Amino acid sequence: MLSSAPCYSSFKRIFDAYGMIWGADVTRLTYSYTDCLDHVRRSLDFLSLDDKEWILGKTLAEALNWPEARPETSVQCDGQPMI
């Protein structure tokens, strides 16, 4: 499990001030891409489900003018959308 709890207060201040979009340099991480996504989905309790959806996909989709995913085609994980 990733351990980044000490930086949560800084992360929250940055998110509150600027918002956020998902990005990862998977080639330099010691954890898998799935572990990183799971960490965002399950460990950042100060983010709402809506915040997580925006961070993990909606922001980029809106910036690139991509259509929203249809609910019937969205992948689910533990009852939550996997953006």
Provide the mean pLDDT of the chain: 77
- Judged by DSSP in three states, 31 sits in coil
Residue that wins the pLDDT comparison between 60 and 27:
60
Is residue 31 within 8 A of residue 2, CB to CB? The reply is yes
Q: The whole model's pTM is what?
A: 0.64
pLDDT at position 65 is 92
